């Protein structure tokens, strides 16, 4: 059991179970997340017998950095996990802070046809500690503080729900990484039962939905998941979420040339989202080895943007990061595997 996978609550009950005071959990968190020690022996305010017990029950191993690629305002990390599996994380320097895009699974089963991550089917879920360590390793390597976390790396967060929620608990805890809930964004391709479960938890983190198409016919062609949970159900679940939680929802919409970027698509999208307190984020497609997909030209993106604006939809265009370091989901890993 890796210590970086324990929530504060779990660690508190661990200490109670071994007959110690529960505030020891806060002390351990302080060593792990504030002082950033590398071994239990450095936890100098904890008595020897307890250190011995911690060593018996936990390990404090890190994951390793296999490769780093640096671009303008972007640093892309490839990690090797203890079983040799590889995942990626991407750090983006924004004017408002540093945002890390974290992976949640090794591979992905969602099978979106434009996405690089799905080229490798899901091998396994990431453990909570493997997500926490992506943040710690990048912070240590670059000597920066990460202020924002987006769960938009390899994998589907809602297909690894429990580990992802525990990850959020750890990084959001004041005694942990203290990253504000409003600075954490979970992105899903639209697994409706999990959107409902997430709604009932009333967390303050941001929810993003990968929409990418304004109707079922097109969405089912691009995203296999739409055959299981069609648009109507996704939109209904989001409306219920908005009713329950006073939080903003973002719909992500990748702009694929001549696929989903027509004026008709923009109008259809506007009518689909009419009256919802939602934002659309237009994402310039990051071209990958899926050569059948090209990115929409800038002018066309702005035309799509204007149509949404005129129809009173809140819309932004995502700044492009890292195309020079192939930062689209899963690209570094798949390039690495091909080179090997």
* Residues contributing to the site for ligand SAH (CB under 6 A): 110, 112, 114-115, 152, 156, 187-189, 210, 252, 254, 283, 285-286, 288, 328-329
We find the least distance from the C-beta atom of residue 243 to ligand SAH, in angstroms, to be: 22
Phi, psi of 247 (to 5 degrees): -120, 155
* Nearest residue (CB) to ligand SAH, 3 versus 332: 332
Which helix (DSSP H) or strand (DSSP E) does residue 148 occupy? strand 148-151
Report which DSSP code applies to 289.
Answer: S
Q: At 277, give phi and psi (nearest 5°).
A: -80, 70
- Alpha-carbon torsion (205, 206, 210, 211), positive or negative: positive
Task: Return the number of the residue (2 or 250) whose C-beta is nearest ligand SAH.
Answer: 250
For residue 32, the minimal CB distance to ligand SAH (Å) is 27
Considering beta carbons, is residue 245 or 331 the nearer one to ligand SAH? Answer: 331
Under 8 Å between Cβ of 4 and 11: no
Nearer to ligand SAH, 62 or 290 (CB): 290
Catalytic, 101? Answer no
User: Which tokens in the block code for residue 102?
Assistant: 């974290």
320 is catalytic: no
Set 12, 88, 127, 130: catalytic member? 88
The least CB distance from residue 292 to ligand SAH, in Å, is 12
Assign 89 to helix, strand or coil. strand
Shortest distance, position 128 Cβ to ligand SAH, whole Å: 17
The H-or-E segment that residue 163 falls in is helix 161-172
Least distance in Å: CB of 210 to ligand SAH?
3
Residues 6+ apart with CB under 8 A from 182: 204, 205, 206
All residues at 6 or more sequence positions from 68 whose CB lies less than 8 Å from its CB, including other chains: 75, 76, 77, 78, 141
**Considering beta carbons, is residue 265 or 283 the nearer one to ligand SAH?**
283
Give the single-character DSSP code of 296.
P
Calpha distance 144→322 (Å, rounded):
19
- In sequence order, the β-bridge partners of residue 65 are 79
Tell me whether residue 94 or residue 145 sits nearer to ligand SAH (CB atom). Answer: 94
Q: Which of 42, 264, 329, 340 is catalytic?
A: 329
To the nearest whole angstrom, how small is the minimum distance from the Cβ of residue 219 to ligand SAH? Answer: 11
The Cβ of residue 78 has, within 10 Å, a number of other Cβ atoms equal to 18
| Catalytic site positions | 88, 329
């Amino acid at each position: 059991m890796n210590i970086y996978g324990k929530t504060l609550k779990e660690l508190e009950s661990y200490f109670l179970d071994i007959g110690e005071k529960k505030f020891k959990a806060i002390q351990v968190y302080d060593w792990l997340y504030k002082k950033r020690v590398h071994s239990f022996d450095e936890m100098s305010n904890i008595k020897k017998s307890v250190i011995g017990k911690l060593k018996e029950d936990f390990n404090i191993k890190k994951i390793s950095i296999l490769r780093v690629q640096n671009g303008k305002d972007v640093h892309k990390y490839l990690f090797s996990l203890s079983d040799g599996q590889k995942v990626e994380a991407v750090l983006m320097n924004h004017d408002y802070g540093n945002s890390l895009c974290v992976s949640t699974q090794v591979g992905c089963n969602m099978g979106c046809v434009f996405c690089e991550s799905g080229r490798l089917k899901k091998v396994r879920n990431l453990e909570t500690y493997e997500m926490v360590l992506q943040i710690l390793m990048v912070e240590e390597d670059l000597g920066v503080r990460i202020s924002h976390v987006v769960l938009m790396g390899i994998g589907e967060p809602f297909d690894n729900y429990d580990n992802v929620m525990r990850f959020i608990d750890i990084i959001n805890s004041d005694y942990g990484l203290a990253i504000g809930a409003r600075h954490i964004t979970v992105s899903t391709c639209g697994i409706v039962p999990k959107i409902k479960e997430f709604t009932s938890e009333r967390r303050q983190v941001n929810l993003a939905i990968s929409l990418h198409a304004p109707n079922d016919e097109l969405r089912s062609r691009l995203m296999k998941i739409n055959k299981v949970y069609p648009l109507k159900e996704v939109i209904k679940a989001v409306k219920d979420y908005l009713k329950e939680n006073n939080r903003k929802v973002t719909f992500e919409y990748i702009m694929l040339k001549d696929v989903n970027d027509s004026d008709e698509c923009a109008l259809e999208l506007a009518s689909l989202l009419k009256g919802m307190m939602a934002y659309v984020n237009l994402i310039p497609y990051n071209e990958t080895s899926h050569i059948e997909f090209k990115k929409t030209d800038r002018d066309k993106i702005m035309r799509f943007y204007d149509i949404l604006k005129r129809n009173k939809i809140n819309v932004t265009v995502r700044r492009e990061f890292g195309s020079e370091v192939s930062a689209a989901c899963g690209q570094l890993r798949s390039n690495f595997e091909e080179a090997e």
